[in-house]
Structure 1
């Protein structure tokens, strides 16, 4: 069975003249196609438990790559806690009703600066990854992260701190663009949902560390109450650089570059120890890559907006952007939200830590949900649940206020964050990683994340304006706003989000190329021999 692969000549992904001949050779080679059929059927037949047993290293490397998101999460939640730190407010705040608070413009700037930098980073990530691969691109971003932390740590004004956050945001863009793509390419089909959902768990790990550190330091009255948490960012990049240096490159990326032997070694390192199984897996990858290459040569950003790829790009962008409209911004500013809901500063930090730990539990639960239910089902039911909870939050904030209503708002805020962390958050990353074509994946995840930032940057200002005492001071009434936007997300997903679970990348290419309606993706039968 291995002779087909040995006889097949694979050339550089960017040599379009050679490709026209290669398409004919790959897609009519009966030995290679039989290997590809066997490889794809084996992935469909593999159970979750079997996949975990046979691909433990694939799970490990997917988790390591997703763990880079901890750095963006850490800094995002850190900024959310800074505005609640007494010493930080005393140093940089203004008096409002006899109490110092950070002005709305600076509060939103601290959140927006990193996102603006990340917006630049996600556009740089795609072309650089296409050239260098996921591994070296991530190492480059980690080096940049180490350097940019210095600006924030030594900042002695809000202006410099904002600039530091903007520079830190650039490597964040690399991490968030590459992590879901890499994770989805190194694990078997049955593990794609759980492993890409690990991204949300990395967010929770970052928030837990921040909540614990800021709770420990919130009683300090000097600058170290915020400088020490900033310095802790240096804990992550160097160890991750060392570990990722030994990581296998994505076999899909190597196949697109024509590096067959390296791709086979990578497949074996990820779990396919037998030569026969590795060659079947590579044949499946090579077949899909060559089918996609019929659509063009070197991938460009413009390709994302042509033909059926436009639909796929739209779904990716909608999924990323919708994360900002269903209660996520409450989770990002949880400690400050609890303060505005009437909790004491110390108790707000305690609730923030509890909230982060519960999100971690919800993330772990999402692994089981992705195995039991489809992507579309989880997204629709999770969004519907949060729409209901957000509206209840608004009602609680609208009636005469007392201790009971304050606690009710805080509890609802925690439940909303829990639901997001168990459904919408993790399943969005699975959908994003699976929707794009292999050929355009590095570019698609970057542009999708850019859509996230386009939506998030104004929403951060809106969230700060709604919660801040110097702004609209709406507290829990913001639930009406986020409940309404979440309702719009639900309607968009109902009509446009297809079911992607249990579909190989070849099958997804065919479903999109055939323009199958979103609600018929699950029931449409694709023959293993189709080469569309």
Structure 2
């Protein structure tokens, strides 16, 4: 190809994507441009998982880095859940429970755990427009610096209302992280790595809970304020180092193409993979092919609820919301749940730590299953298994209180928590990342996560009320309630959840535009030359 062939064609000059920046990306005419796009897509389709890892080692590393921002939401969320079971914290801020102990009032227990999601609800709504404007990297770095500041509020809190405010303040950057991480990870890796790259998010969620479990287990016997101040201060370990790493990371090439920065997008692709195995111009051509099939207007929230995007938005919102309804609330309140099941404090904290460790192991085990069996079967069978376990938990709690009954409840609760992170939870991140349209992705993930918090907030109040001795005091009988909600999620997934394993973003767009039923996604064939 000669140097003269690199100048934009008349089509480029008329196209708002290309006219924004003169670029040195290979481009001849419509026919060759499309051939380059097809070639890039065929290469991704032909790759195995291991070939993709070898070709894109840097992409894997940067996805790993961005995913680690989720540690901070997990850490603080589980930290506040552990504080309600912490003896020193309950003596300081609780009321007598009638059994020579102390407990936080049910309303405050719920409020402290709902503060973070309230803040995150704000965060996810501002994340979409900010990310669309300045990119994933700078939006995430801004969130990290904001978190550094808001940790001070929690560290110096001396009353329950101030703790509540601190949780709202910290929740705002959480919303930015949780909206950006799955989208960024799915956009910087080749197709075969989309599942493991986004499932890493659930691994870091487990890592955050492991750190909390270890720290609170060590400090739960402390009688002073250090029992909660030291774990709180440890939050400062994460934001600054992560901000430095993310500053060095490449921007998502898909975001750069959306902004018309094609030369930068090609360089970003080459930074993400081995130069001998990736072709930046071909990758840009593939991305342009997808993006140019979409509207060229600036993305808006209204578009999420129009045409075929309405269906995609509904799937993302429902998958996010369902995370609260299939056992997740038991996992998030594991220590307090084990105490209410009859375990002593030491055993409850130890079981909470064991649960977190097992979750990390099972998240990694789920990567191979997703690659082999896809998304839909694992989500449906995993949720179905948890329905059975939750009902079994409720039945165990119906027996008179005894060691055997307590052990059975603790066992079923542990199984539900672990299986949730083996099937439904990690698969959810993959589905969320793949379902949204490229152009609307930051907005879709933001609105979807907002639905998570909208459902999460009342569920936290309900969950705390059901477990708290000053509330309904249901203990393991809450399994009947969560079993019912999980069954509803299972039925909805069977009818409406599509299978997108092995599909390029172009193919996914076409399947939605053709209004293909969810159960026929896997069997529908899409020609490589199709542009709808």
Could you state the TM-score of these two structures normalised by the residue count of structure 2?
0.96
Match of 2:233 among 224, 231, 234: 231
Q: What is residue 6 of structure 2 aligned with on the other side?
A: 6
Classify 1:84/1:12 alpha carbon distance in 2 versus 1 (closer, same or farther; 3 Å). farther
- Any conservation in 1 of the 2:18–2:260 contact (CA below 8 Å)? no
Q: Name the structure 2 match of 1:405.
A: 405
Residue in 1 aligned with 2:174?
Answer: 172
1:17 Cα deviation from its structure 2 partner: 11
| Cross-structure match for 1:384 | 384
2:348 paired with 1:348: yes
The offset of 1:6, in angstroms, is 3.3
Q: Deviations over 1:201-251 (max 9, x none)?
A: 011000000000000000000001001000000000000011111000000
Matched-pair contact (CA < 8 Å) for 1:2–1:279:
no
**Structure 1 Cα separation of the partners of residues 442 and 149 of structure 2:** 25
1:314-364 Cα deviation digits (max 9, x unpaired): 000000000000000000000000000000001100101100000000111
Counterpart check, 1:422 vs 2:425: no
The reply on whether 1:437 has 2:452 as its aligned counterpart is no
Per-residue deviation, 1:99: 2.1
Deviates more, 1:268-277 or 1:480-489: 268-277
Q: Confirm or deny that 1:315 pairs with 2:288.
A: no
Matches within 5 A, 1:210-289: 210-274=212-276, 277-289=279-291
Q: Which range is displaced more, 4-13 or 160-169?
A: 4-13
Match of 1:394 in 2: 394
1:53 and 2:33 aligned:
no
Would the alpha carbon gap of residues 28 and 395 (structure 1) be closer, same or farther in structure 2, given more than 3 Å must change? farther
Structure 2's unaligned 5+ residue stretches are: 21-26
Contact 1:11 1:257 in 2 (8 A): no
Distance 1:149 1:414 in 2: 31
Distance 2:48 2:487 in 1: 35
- CA distance in 2 between partners of 1:135 and 1:61 (Å): 11
Alpha-carbon spacing, 1:86–1:276, altered in 2? closer, same or farther (3 Å):
closer
TM-score under structure 1 length normalisation: 0.96
* Distance in 2 between residues matched to 1:207 and 1:438, nearest whole Å: 32
- Cα shift readout 1:455-484 (whole Å, capped 9, x = no counterpart): 000000000000001100111000000000
Distance 1:276 1:314, change over 3 A: closer
Partner of 1:105: 107
In 1, the alpha carbon distance for the partners of 2:101 and 2:239 equals: 38
Q: What secondary structure, in the 3-state scheme, does the structure 2 residue paired with 1:422 have? A: coil
CA distance in 2, matches of 1:132, 1:194: 27
Q: CA deviation at 1:12?
A: 11
Alpha-carbon offset, residue 62 of structure 1: 0.6
SS in 1 for 2:279: helix
Query: Are the counterparts in 2 of residues 13 and 298 from structure 1 also a CA contact under 8 Å?
Result: no
> Is 1:128–1:137's contact at 8 Å kept on the other side of the alignment?
yes
How many Å apart are 1:274 and its aligned residue? 3.8
Q: Could you say what secondary structure the match of 2:167 adopts? A: helix
Paired residues of 1:12 and 1:258 also in contact (CA < 8 A): no
CA distance in 1, matches of 2:497, 2:276: 38
Structure 1 segments, 4+ long, off by >2 Å, are: 1-19, 274-278
Judging changes above 3 Å, is the alpha-carbon distance between structure 1 residues 147 and 304 closer, same or farther for their aligned structure 2 residues? Answer: same
CA contact (8 A) 1:13 1:297 kept: no
Distance between the aligned counterparts of 2:5 and 2:466, measured in 1? 60
* Residue number in structure 2 paired with 1:524: 524
Alpha-carbon displacement from aligned partner over 1:15-70 (angstroms, at most 9, x marks no partner) = 58979xxxxxx996111111100100111110001011111110111111111010
Residue equivalent to 1:191: 193
Q: 1:221 aligns to what SS in structure 2?
A: coil
Change (3 A) 1:345 1:45: same
Task: From 160, 163, 172, give the equivalent of 1:161.
Answer: 163
1:27·1:33 contact (CA, 8 Å) conserved in 2? no
Contact 1:252–1:285 (Cα < 8 Å) also in 2: yes
Q: How does 1:371-520 map to 2 (within 5 A)?
A: 371-520=371-520
1:290 is aligned, of 292, 305, 321, to 292
What CA distance in whole angstroms lies between the structure 2 residues aligned with 1:168 and 1:11? 44
Q: 1:335 to 1:13 in 2, by over 3 A?
A: farther
**Contact persistence 2:143–2:177 (CA under 8 A):** yes
Q: How many angstroms apart in 1 are the aligned matches of 2:503 and 2:401?
A: 51
- Cα distance in 1 for partners of 2:312, 2:405 equals 44
Give the equivalent residue in structure 2 for 1:29: 30
Preserved CA contact (<8 Å) 1:13 1:256: no
Shift of 1:401: 2.1
Partner of residue 23, structure 2:
none
8 A contact 1:248–1:269 mirrored in 2: yes
Any conservation in 2 of the 1:272–1:278 contact (CA below 8 Å)? no
Give 1:281 deviation, angstroms. Answer: 1.4
| Aligned equivalents of 2:208, 2:70: Cα separation in 1 | 8
Give the deviation of 1:138 after TM superposition. 0.4
State the Cα RMSD in Å: 2.0
Which whole-Å deviations, capped at 9, do the CAs of 1:142-163 have from their partners, x for residues lacking one?
Answer: 0000000000000000000100
Structure 2 CA distance for aligned equivalents of residues 47 and 2 of structure 1: 34
Distance 1:371 1:221, change over 3 A: same
Displacement of 1:13 in angstroms is 12
Distance 1:75 1:412 in 2: 25
In the alignment, the residues of structure 1 paired with residue 405 and residue 5 of structure 2 have an alpha-carbon distance, to the nearest angstrom, of 67
Does the 8 Å contact 2:155/2:232 carry over to 1? yes
Residue aligning to 2:75: 74
2:146, 2:173 within 8 Å by CA — same for their partners in 1? yes
Q: 8 Å contact 1:208–1:357 — kept in the other structure?
A: yes
Q: Deviation string for 1:393-421 (max 9, x for gaps)? A: 00000112210110111111111111111
